[in-house]
Amino acid sequence: MNPEIISSPQNQNVQLMRSLATQSKVRRKEQAFLAEGARLVEDGLRSGFVPRLVAYKGTISQRASETLDFAWDVKKDTKSGFPILQIEDRLFDELTDTEASQGIMAVFAIPELHLPEEPNFLLLLDQVRDPGNMGTVLRSAEAAGVQGVFLLPGTTDPWAPKVTRSAMGSHFRLPILSWGIEALEALLMDMRVFYADMDGEVNFWQADFKAKTALLIGGEAQGASATGLKLAQNTLRIPMAGGTESLNAAVSAALLMFEVARQRQ
């Protein structure tokens, strides 16, 4: 194990982790993100991604201790040179916004995952700004069999810590892409694009999702942008009882995605 305990906030690795935790521009520049928690770090390692570094604190949970042991095994088996660093507890806690940190985190390169050659089930997120909703949507998308998620302008950074924690490892297995509008339009040319709207024309239970399908999910407050709406040919509504006017983006997306999955099974 590493005998040195890092206690200086000026340490270059500490500065990198702090910047990745708080600044999307640094995540873009470094093409890296901070994965926090035993489950997320282990998911990255088991998915075959070699971290740039792993960090832990002295008062580590049992679950995180097991992940740390696995990280040492990966380092040894792959003969990778990534550092495994112990951070002073106080300093480590300054790097996280969770109330009860498990005591382990890692820096991973943003995965370069690719679409299948002929995708038939895509998700488009347009101005979804809540990090918790975004992470839940990504987790549900993986579970429902979505082959790729596209982010339109105005959507929150998918590599922010709150998003990655909520997605529970889906970032390592699900292509998350930001394409220019012309490239996206070309990809969607032979797909039916459905937009979820409270005044949608078709009840989503009655829509036909067996053909190539893309679902457009708009933001929590304003819905989809004008750019996003131009991509959609069909609007869907989710019938609701009582006085509820709408569902949040994560719930709406999950209902629609699993209806696509149900029809195809």
Task: Look at the chain and report how many structural domains it folds into.
Answer: 2
pLDDT-derived band at 244 (thresholds 50, 70, 90) equals confident
pTM: 0.94
One domain, residues 133 and 259? yes
One domain, residues 199 and 128? yes
One domain, residues 147 and 232? yes
One domain, residues 75 and 175? no
Q: What residues make up the domain containing 100?
A: 5-109
One domain, residues 254 and 137? yes
One domain, residues 145 and 218? yes
Q: What is the pLDDT of residues 217-242, one digit of tens each?
A: 998 778 899 999 999 999 999 998 87
One domain, residues 55 and 161? no
- Pick from 75, 109, 143: which residue ends a domain? 109
Nearest to residue 135, comparing CAs of 97, 164, 99, 161?
164
CA distance 41 to 67: 7
CATH number at residue 34: 3.30.1330.30
- Please check whether residue 115 lies inside any domain of the structure: no
CATH number at residue 232: 3.40.1280.10
CA distance 165 to 81: 26
Q: What is the pLDDT of residues 7-56, one digit of tens each?
A: 999 999 999 999 999 999 999 999 999 999 999 999 999 999 999 999 99
One domain, residues 134 and 220? yes
End-to-end CA separation in angstroms for the chain: 49
